[in-house]
């Protein structure tokens, strides 16, 4: 925040020249011409129409018989001056007024009083006009703010609507894209499903064909099986018959055996009979031959039987072979049947498998068909959704178009409003310029050098009862609120100032009176506000207030609050301000930087060697002090912090140097640089708020040595200050400085268009009535600077233009 050595004052856009102030009593003409120019420049635009009708009213204020005649008869005479309006001519006439030369002092005085009265009416009218301007400006500002707010709201609404629609469109587009991609996917799935369905169908047909051929095979196998079974049955029958035949052959064989045995027995018996016969051979030879014949016959029959038997045996073996064959056939057939049966079972298995496959295929097909129908349904729904989305899209496109056209209309409206706003801004700027001029004119009419007197309440420390009153306030019409009477040793001394604040007046009451000066600093003027008075008279209270008590804040904090509040307000009109603060103390003609981070600066002797704090003025009338700490500030809080720091620095410095708090001048400087880029205007103002060293009679404290030096330094700087104010007010070419640092520092802030206000603080303590009288005399002298003549009743000794304290 702190920026060292940036304290070179920036170049002024309007260098102050002393020519605009007309203060010399002998040259009222000069004052008039200058003021006429300023008033003419204000144009008095807003009330022209009304004013042409009431123009004659001004003749009231020019009512003196020695004034040049005016265009119309007087009106509203004696009525409230608020009803009277002035034209440029009226003001010119008033300002061009000349006093007749052959008047005596009393008449001159009367004329002057009358002139002042009319001037006051004129000032009141200007104040009224200014109030109207301010009111009008406020109205325009409010209207503008409203229009701007409406515009912004409409714009925001439109933007929000557009955003909303855009987001809906985006969403719909996204949905559409998603639906389309889903649709495409579904289409692919559908095609795949259809393909797989076709494949399944083919497979099914192939399986059905296979099943049919297998069924045919099975049927054929079953037929083969049946024929094989029949064959087996017939073979079984043949086998059974062959077995029966075999049994019968066995029976036949058995019989043949039994026959053979019977034949053998017969043979035996025959042989026995042969023997018998042999015996009887001879006898029987005959028998023999017969018997032989019988034998050969038997043998032949036996051979035949054997042959028969052999034939039968071979037949049986044949039959056995056949049976074996049949058995083998049967076995073969059986194995064939078994093979066929296993084949059939295989076929059956296959058929089962194929049937299961067929079933799964069927269920799959059914599933696929249902999926297909689902997908078709989905596709239909998607188509519907797509159609509705497209419809919505069309609708939203339409509404977007509508919104766009609405937006265009609003845009056009906004543009129009903006142009109106620009016009209004221009008007505000013009109004602001007029206001500044009027404000300045009013302040000039009030006086560029003014003196306010403030009497503090009697304090318990004063040690005197409330019954002893040395200060009183006249209540005559002329002096009410402006006069102060001081009684010393039974003698009454009367003084009149621009304003007198009584002990009951609050800090707020005092600030109200100076707030216009603070505004002037923001308008680019140099403003100096001094608090002057004896020790303990309330200078610090007036300038700083009581720490910690908000309602008792002094002029400095209040001024800063106003500066930052107004800065914020003017920012709306395009003004950008930069503020810089510096705070210094002049003690015994030594400058002390109160914002310096270096604590060693409290040591005056070291300061002088380390830092020279040389005061310099540039060609533009700006002042800067080398090595002084300048701090950029952006809020009144920042400044409050700096003020606290400065106060701390002051008290530490005083302790270190055994100095009394009242013996140094405290100078607070706020540099204001304002730039309006839209109107290309630039202003540079300075606000100097100064708590002067307390004036104190040396004799009172009876001090010597250092104290004497201190007092002399104070007196020198105050005396020098009064000389400078005098010289500048009188537009003297040579401005004396008398080597006072304070005077040299403030010199550019006291001349030209600068506004100077001095508070003379007075203590009601009877014990310090002498000092009070001294202060009041000095203040009355400064007050008299205004127009170069003692414009108010003062107790000045005419020759004494310099302060002598102590």
Ligand X SMILES: Nc1ncnc2c1ncn2[C@@H]1O[C@H](COP(=O)(O)OP(=O)(O)OP(=O)(O)O)[C@@H](O)[C@H]1O
The binding site for ligand X (CB under 6 A) comprises 456-457, 459, 533, 535-541, 546, 661-662, 694, 761
Q: Which is nearer to ligand X, 538 or 748 (CB)?
A: 538
Rg (CA), the chain: 70
CB 564 within 8 A of CB 636: yes
Q: Which is nearer to ligand X, 125 or 759 (CB)?
A: 759
Query: How many Cβ atoms from other residues are within 10 Å of residue 537's Cβ?
Result: 28
Residue 606 is encoded by which pair of tokens? 């070291």
Three-state helix/strand/coil letters over 112-181 = HHHHHHHHHHHHHHHHHHHHHHHHHHHHHHHHHHHHHHHHHHHHHHHHHHHHHHHHHHHHHHHHHHHHHH
Burial (CB count within 10 angstroms: exposed 0-12, middle 13-18, buried 19+), residue 489: exposed
In angstroms, give the least distance from the CB of 604 to ligand X.
19
Q: Kindly tell me which of 36 and 539 has the beta carbon lying closer to ligand X.
A: 539
d(Cα 429, Cα 137) in Å, to the nearest integer?
Answer: 10
Contact present, 452 and 513 (Cβ < 8 Å): yes
Q: Is 535 a known ligand-binding residue?
A: yes
Of residues 457 and 463, the one with the C-beta less far from ligand X: 457
Q: How far is the CB of 775 from ligand X (least distance, A)?
A: 10
Q: Which is nearer to ligand X, 407 or 759 (CB)?
A: 759
Is residue 540 a known part of a binding site? yes
**C-alpha span between 713 and 695 (Å, rounded):** 11
Task: Pick between residue 621 and residue 694 the one whose CB is nearest to ligand X.
Answer: 694
Residue 717 CB, nearest approach to ligand X (Å): 14
Closest C-alpha to 579, from 559, 593, 598, 602: 559
CB proximity list for 75: less than 8 A, separation 6 or greater:
54, 56, 57, 59, 60
CA distance 711 to 792: 30
Give bridge partners of residue 564 from the DSSP assignment: none
Tokens 């250092």 label which residue?
706
Q: Least distance from C-beta 22 to ligand X, angstroms? A: 34
Partner residues linked to 681 by β-bridges: 676
Nearer to ligand X, 533 or 748 (CB): 533
CB of 623 to ligand X, least distance (A): 25
- Of 154 and 719, CB closest to ligand X: 719
Q: Could you tell me if 678 and 425 are in contact, meaning their C-beta atoms sit under 8 angstroms apart? A: yes
Q: Are 794 and 567 in contact (CB under 8 A)?
A: no
Least distance between ligand X and beta carbon 646 (Å): 14
CB 18 within 8 A of CB 728: yes
DSSP, res 658:
T
Strands 629-633 and 491-496: unpaired
CB nearer to ligand X: pick between 499 and 539: 539
Q: Which lies closer to ligand X via its Cβ, residue 375 or residue 540?
A: 540
Residue closer to ligand X by CB (options 474, 536) is 536
CB of 37 to ligand X, least distance (A): 41
How many whole angstroms from its chain centre is CA 11? 37
Quote the least distance from Cβ 661 to ligand X, whole Å.
5
Q: For 289, what's the count of Cα atoms within 13 Å in the CB-facing half-sphere? A: 4
Confirm whether residue 534 is marked as ligand binding: yes
In the complex, minimum distance from the CB of residue 693 to ligand X, in angstroms, rounded to a whole number: 7
Q: Residue 702 in 3-state DSSP?
A: coil
Report helix, strand or coil for 498: coil
Phi, psi of 622 (to 5 degrees): -95, 150
Tell me whether residue 536 is annotated as binding.
yes
How near is the Cβ of 461 to ligand X at its closest, in Å?
Answer: 8
Angle formed by the axes of helices 555-571 and 636-657, nearest 10°? 150
Nearest CA to 161 out of 358, 349, 402, 362 is that of: 402
Is 653 annotated in a binding site? The answer is: no
- Tell me the pairing of strands 526-533 and 681-691: parallel
- Report the C-alpha gap between 537 and 556 in whole angstroms: 17
CB of 546 to ligand X, least distance (A): 6
Nearer to ligand X, 447 or 766 (CB): 766
d(CA 336, CA 229): 11
Instruction: Provide, rounded to whole angstroms, the least separation between the CB of residue 537 and ligand X.
Output: 4
Phi, psi (rounded to 5 degrees) for 249:
-65, -40
| Residue ranges of the binding site | 533-540
| Residue ranges of the binding site for ATP | 533-540
């Amino acid at each position: 925040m702190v920026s060292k050595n940036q304290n070179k004052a920036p170049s002024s856009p309007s260098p102050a020249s002393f020519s605009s102030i007309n203060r010399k009593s002998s040259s009222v003409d000069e004052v008039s011409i200058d003021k006429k120019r300023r008033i003419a420049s204000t144009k008095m635009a807003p009330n022209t129409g009304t004013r042409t009708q009431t123009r004659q009213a001004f003749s009231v204020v020019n009512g003196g018989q020695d004034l040049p005649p005016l265009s119309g008869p007087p009106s509203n005479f004696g009525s409230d001056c608020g009803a009277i309006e002035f034209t440029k001519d009226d003001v010119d006439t008033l300002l061009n007024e000349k006093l007749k030369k052959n008047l005596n002092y009393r008449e001159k005085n009367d004329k002057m009083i009358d002139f002042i009265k009319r001037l006051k009416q004129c000032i009141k009218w200007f104040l009224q006009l200014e109030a109207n301007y301010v009111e009008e400006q406020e109205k325009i500002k409010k209207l503008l703010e409203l229009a701007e707010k409406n515009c912004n709201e409409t714009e925001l609404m439109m933007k929000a609507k557009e955003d909303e629609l855009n987001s809906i469109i985006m969403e719909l587009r996204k949905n559409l894209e998603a639906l389309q991609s889903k649709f495409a996917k579904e289409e692919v799935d559908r095609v795949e499903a259809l393909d797989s369905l076709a494949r399944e169908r083919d497979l099914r047909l192939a399986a059905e064909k296979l099943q049919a051929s297998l069924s045919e095979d099975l049927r054929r196998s079953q037929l083969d099986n049946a024929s094989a079974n029949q064959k087996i049955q017939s073979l079984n029958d043949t086998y059974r018959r062959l077995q029966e035949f075999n049994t019968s052959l066995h029976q036949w064989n058995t019989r043949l055996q039994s026959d053979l045995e019977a034949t053998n027995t017969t043979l035996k018996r025959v042989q026995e009979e042969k023997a018998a016969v042999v015996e009887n051979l001879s006898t029987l030879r005959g028998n023999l031959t017969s018997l032989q014949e019988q034998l050969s016959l038997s043998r032949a029959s036996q051979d035949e039987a054997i042959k028969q038997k052999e034939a039968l045996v071979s037949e049986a073996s044949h039959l056995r072979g056949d049976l074996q064959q049949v058995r083998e056939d049967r076995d073969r057939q059986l194995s064939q049947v078994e093979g066929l049966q296993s084949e059939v079972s295989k076929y059956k298995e296959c058929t089962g498998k194929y049937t299961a496959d067929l079933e799964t295929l069927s269920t799959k097909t059914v599933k696929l068909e249902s999926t297909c129908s689902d997908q078709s349904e989905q596709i239909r729904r998607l188509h519907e959704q797509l159609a509705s989305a497209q419809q919505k899209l069309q609708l939203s496109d339409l509404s977007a178009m509508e919104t766009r056209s609405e937006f265009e209309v609003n845009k056009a409206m906004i543009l129009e409003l903006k142009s109106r706003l620009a016009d209004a801004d221009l008007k505000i700027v013009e109004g602001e310029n007029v206001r500044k001029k009027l404000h300045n004119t009013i302040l000039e009419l009030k006086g560029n050098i003014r003196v306010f007197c403030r009497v503090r309440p009697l304090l318990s420390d004063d040690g005197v009862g409330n019954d002893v009153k040395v200060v009183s306030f006249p209540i005559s019409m002329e002096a009410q609120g402006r006069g102060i009477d001081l009684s010393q040793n039974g003698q009454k001394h009367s003084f009149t100032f621009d304003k007198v604040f009584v002990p009951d007046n609050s800090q707020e009451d005092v600030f109200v009176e100076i707030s216009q000066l603070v505004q002037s600093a923001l308008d680019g003027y140099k403003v100096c506000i001094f608090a002057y008075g004896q020790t303990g008279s309330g200078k610090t209270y007036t300038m700083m207030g009581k720490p910690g008590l908000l309602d008792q804040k002094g002029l400095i904090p209040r001024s800063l609050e106003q500066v930052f509040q107004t800065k914020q307000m003017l920012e709306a009109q395009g003004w950008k301000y930069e503020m810089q603060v510096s705070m210094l103390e002049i003690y015994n003609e030594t400058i002390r930087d109160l914002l310096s981070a270096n604590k060693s600066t409290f040591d005056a002797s070291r300061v002088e060697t380390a830092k020279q704090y040389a005061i310099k003025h540039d060609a533009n009338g700006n002042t800067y002090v080398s090595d002084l700490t300048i701090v950029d500030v952006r809020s009144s809080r920042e400044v409050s912090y700096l003020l606290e720091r400065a106060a701390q620095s002051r008290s530490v410095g005083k302790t270190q140097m055994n100095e009394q708090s009242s013996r140094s001048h405290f100078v607070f400087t706020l540099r204001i640089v304002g730039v309006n880029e839209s109107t290309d205007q630039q202003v540079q103002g300075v606000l100097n708020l100064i708590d002067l060293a307390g004036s104190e009679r040396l004799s009172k404290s009876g001090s010597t040595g250092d104290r004497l030096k201190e007092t002399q330094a104070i007196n020198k700087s105050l005396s020098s200050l009064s000389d400078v104010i005098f010289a500048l007010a009188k537009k003297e070419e040579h401005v004396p400085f008398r080597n006072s640092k304070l005077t040299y520092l403030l010199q550019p802030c006291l001349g030209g268009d600068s506004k100077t206000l001095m508070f003379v603080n007075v203590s009601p303590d009877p014990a310090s009535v002498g000092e009070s009288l001294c202060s009041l005399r000095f203040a009355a002298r400064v007050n008299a600077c205004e127009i170069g003549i003692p414009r108010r009743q003062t107790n000045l000794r005419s020759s004494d233009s310099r302060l002598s304290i102590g």
